[in-house]
Chains A and B, each alone.
Chain A
């Protein structure tokens, strides 16, 4: 698509429930990223995909968090047994090499999924 699309835009869930957040990257972008941003805080890196594989999962905060990407496109971030500290904005982004020569890669963000755990 024209931009990075995320859904749902807002989600309120009860503590202990599982949630799935979806990201549809820019068409043709091979790299996909998930970040978390708590209220008033900076960006916390969660995971990065190159194609369908995840060479860097170092940012996932616990084993309750998992992510997958299928077909080199859509990605789902799943949070199991949600806790109140999981409340945050979850930002997805994508990037892709521009042309044959290195002309400066750029990462493009979606609007985010606002998660509130009550």
Chain B
């Protein structure tokens, strides 16, 4: 069945460092891919998404490219800020059943000043 695997955290970086959070997926069809962010004490918010191969989702300086050949959707940011400290979840939505969502286990990011 469909699934999402993301790197375990926590990830600790200094401010202005480069961020990569790995995400790979398994899907029988052609899913849409998402990154959600959860700030402390809050619910999950959509960060970015991509709906087909080679699409790049971007928002707030974060980017992720839908790579069908490597079944990956890695999250990147060139220069992180303390305010980026949060838990990041990778997810997919199955086109075959567009209401099915699968989430990774989440990766906690700590950014130190």
Contacts and interface: CB of A to CB of B under 8 A. Distances in A.
* Same complex: yes
A107 B101 contact: yes
Interface in A86-118: 91, 93, 95, 97, 102-112
Contacts of B32: 104-105
Contact of B51 (A31, A43, A48, A103): A103
B43 A109 contact: yes
Classify chain B's interface size.
20 to 34
B105 interface: yes
B76 to A, nearest CB: 20
Interface stretch (B17-25, B67-75, B77-85, B91-99): B91-99
Contacts, number: 55
A45 B101 CA distance: 9
B55 to A, nearest CB: 9
Contacts of B42: 111
Interface string B85-113: 00001010101001111011110000000
Interface of B: 32, 34, 36, 42-46, 49-51, 89, 91, 93, 95, 98-101, 103-106
25 contacts: A31-B99, A33-B101, A42-B104, A42-B105, A42-B106, A43-B44, A45-B103, A48-B99, A93-B44, A95-B99, A102-B51, A102-B95, A104-B32, A104-B50, A104-B51, A105-B93, A106-B49, A106-B93, A107-B34, A107-B91, A107-B101, A108-B46, A109-B45, A110-B43, A111-B42
Interface of A: 30-31, 33, 41-43, 45, 48, 50, 91, 93, 95, 97, 102-112
